[in-house]
Chains A and B, each alone.
Chain A
Amino acid sequence: MDPQIIIARRVAKELRQGNLVNLGIGIPTLVANYVPSDLKVFFQSENGLIGTGPIPEQGMAHPLLTDAGGRPISALPGASIFDSAMSFGLIRGGHVDITVLGGLQVDAHGLLANWMIPGKMVPGMGGAMDLVSGAKRVIVAMQHAAKGKSKIVSKCTLPLTSARPVNLVVTDMAVIGFPDGKATLLETAPGISIGEVLAVTEAELAIPDTVPEMKI
């Protein structure tokens, strides 16, 4: 299975009935494709919409209805529209149950860096800092390593997104949580051994007595 799809399918299992969910760009966006049809969740687009629907059929796009990347979307029955102050009030105010974001690095204490690479990539943080500071649960969906280099690091070398640690990291190799503030291997991806995870993880990982395989 494609690594990104493994990640998206596993993250989708974290969503609960009635959750208000904000998905970042990249792998997180794919999560919406794997939500069971009987599970009612509300997806927020931070440019001012709860109830985002799929890309409209050819010729049906409205120029004034887009996602946060400016791409045409639709709105589901029961959707609501609001201004940016309300949108970020929802985010910072703890009304968003789950946000799923991409990551550049997550450290041994769960701190996330995902918004800039000094000297190389300075796009601006957009809504990322508010999402990490304010959502009830923060899930990072990212590849375990980039170009052979672990993205789960002892200490972030890139600028932090927030002083608040994330709750869960889902990669193509593992699920990592932070009970008592310490990176802990909770699950391994199908066909991946604990040893293989440790071999490509820079941060020290606590290993519980049982580490089940991800169910996707």
Chain B
Amino acid sequence: MKAVSVEEAVAMIPSGASVMVGGFMAVGTPERLLDELVRQNKTGLSLICNDAATPGKGVGKLFDATLVSKLTATHIGLNPKAQQQMLGNQISVDLVPQGTFVERIRAGGCGLGGVLTPTGVGTLVAEGKRQIEVDGKPFLLETAIRAQFALIHAFLADYLGNLAYALTARNFNPIMAMAADTVIVVAEHIVPVGVIAPDHVVTPAPLVDYIIANG
């Protein structure tokens, strides 16, 4: 793990990169990294995030600045700008059931090719997907998702990069921290090693590549 400035971290992300962002309606989203993506005008991003948040908040800022060209999400109904960009074909959107979304990312982080889920069988979600029977029950084959970068929000990070989360800001963060080539973390508090007890570490340090240093 290396501590870097937010400017250095975002400079590593090229335009057109695939980027996973933790958070649920912008709760548990590393806002400083998103602000810097906008400032450095990283365009054509392939964004993987549960939702599109709302304008001005979380990943909503990326839609405000029209930096997204492809979105994989479960719900974008609370961001009119993302909806407009989808309906105007400025972004291509893949809408995925939330349980499938998180399991596909988990699979990507755990070396699995995908998962079999009953969710979506017999619906529009099943179109173009392989249906596989197990013990007489139908499942959809949903393939793994990975990204070049995961942008993670943690509550505590220690000097080694061990992470702990707080309240409902945990959501997709520990799952995404497994599923990207480069993992960049914004923590609310950077603390000495040992402050997070081993039993309370959720994301082990070796998974974390960069922590944004305090300003």
B26 at the interface (CB under 8 A from A): yes
| Contact code string A9-52 (vs B, CB < 8 Å = 1, else 0) | 00000000000000000000000000000000000011111000
Quick one: CB contact mask for A38-70 with B, threshold 8 Å, 1 for yes? 000000011111000000000000111110111
A161–B120 Cα distance when bound, in Å, is 7
Residues of A in contact, count (CB < 8 Å): 42
Which of B74, B106, B169 lies in contact with A85, CB distance below 8 A?
B106
B169 pairs with A124, CB closer than 8 A: no
Say which residue of A65, A87, A124 sits within 8 Å of B74 (CB atoms).
A124
With A and B bound together, what is the CA distance between A65 and B126 in angstroms?
34
Chain B 100-143 near chain A by CB (<8 Å), digits 1 or 0: 10110010000000000111111111000000000000000000
Contact segment of A125-133, A136-144, A195-203, A208-216: A125-133
How many of chain B's residues have a CB under 8 angstroms from any CB in A?
47
Q: By the criterion CB–CB under 8 Å, are A81 and B120 in contact? A: no
Cross-chain contact B125 with A129 (CB below 8 angstroms): yes
Known pairs A81-B170, A92-B118, A160-B123; A47 contacts B24 (CB<8 A)? yes
**What are the residues of chain B within 8 A of A123 when measuring CB–CB?**
75-78, 83
Instruction: Tell me, yes or no, whether B162 is within 8 Å of chain A by CB.
Output: no
Contact with A along B196-208 (1 / 0, CB 8 A): 0000001000000
Return chain A residues, CB-CB under 8 Å to B120. Answer: 129, 133, 162
B175 interface contact, C-beta 8 A? yes
B111 to chain A, nearest CB (A): 15
Of A68, A81, A129, which is in contact with the most chain B CB atoms at under 10 Å from its CB?
A: A129
Question: Does A88 belong to the interface (CB within 8 Å)?
Answer: yes
* One of A46, A83, A87, A129 near B123 (C-beta < 8 A): A129
Which A residues are in CB contact (< 8 Å) with B98? Answer: 46, 84, 88, 125-127, 130
Asked whether, in the complex, the Cβ of B74 is within 8 Å of the Cβ of A88, the reply is no
* Complex Cα gap A56–B11 (Å): 40
Q: Can you spell out 28 A-B residue pairs with CB atoms less than 8 angstroms apart?
A: A47-B24, A47-B168, A64-B155, A64-B167, A64-B168, A64-B169, A65-B168, A66-B27, A66-B168, A70-B25, A70-B26, A70-B27, A81-B167, A83-B202, A85-B175, A92-B119, A121-B77, A122-B83, A122-B95, A125-B95, A125-B125, A127-B98, A127-B99, A130-B99, A130-B119, A160-B123, A162-B122, A163-B123
Q: Which residues of A contact B (CB under 8 A)?
A: 45-49, 62-66, 68-70, 75, 81-85, 87-89, 91-92, 121-130, 133-134, 159-164
